[in-house]
Amino acid sequence: MDACFSVTTWFHLADIETASKELARVLKSQGHFLIITANPSAYDIWESFFTDVKKNEGMFVGVNKILLNPEDQPENYKYAQITNNTFYTHSLDKIIKSLKKSNLEIDSIEEFGILPITHGRPIFTKVVGRKI
């Protein structure tokens, strides 16, 4: 592959080392990747998007609340609830190490995704890089 992308998937993966190895396997030399995942420094915000949360080390499971209109002001928020969801709380350091261990070079890391509900904190992390 010349390029691969993953959007809001990595926090659903228990084993990101295997995911990194597979990403490296399918990319050709100098192939590019883009990963958009939950911002590890905002996991508390992500957890607030769930009900009936059960925590274990490095993860939590709960019923995902979907904000129907994130541009609303907090007093007007309305949610829909969907099925149970597993959310792994990988540190940014663990994500970086898993990519580097698979010979994937990181070109940039950026936090983004500020909505009224996030109180000025970005909820996503974008990791851009390539296979070396």
- Per cent of the chain over pLDDT 70 is 92
pLDDT digits (tens, 9 = 90+) for 59-116: 999 988 776 776 766 677 776 767 789 999 999 999 999 999 999 999 999 999 998 8
Alpha carbons within 13 angstroms on the beta-carbon side of residue 110 total 9
At residue 76, the pLDDT reads 73
19: tokens are 């995911």
Instruction: Report which residue type is found at 51.
Output: T
In the chain, the domains with their CATH numbers are: 3-131 (3.40.50.150)
Rounded Cα distance between 27 and 22, Å, is 9
pLDDT digits (tens, 9 = 90+) for 32-43: 999 999 999 999
**Model pTM?**
0.87
Buried b / exposed e along 14-44 (16+ C-beta atoms within 10 A):
eebeebbbebbeebeeebebebbbbbbebbe
Alpha carbons within 13 angstroms on the beta-carbon side of residue 123 total 18
Rounded Cα distance between 129 and 132, Å, is 9
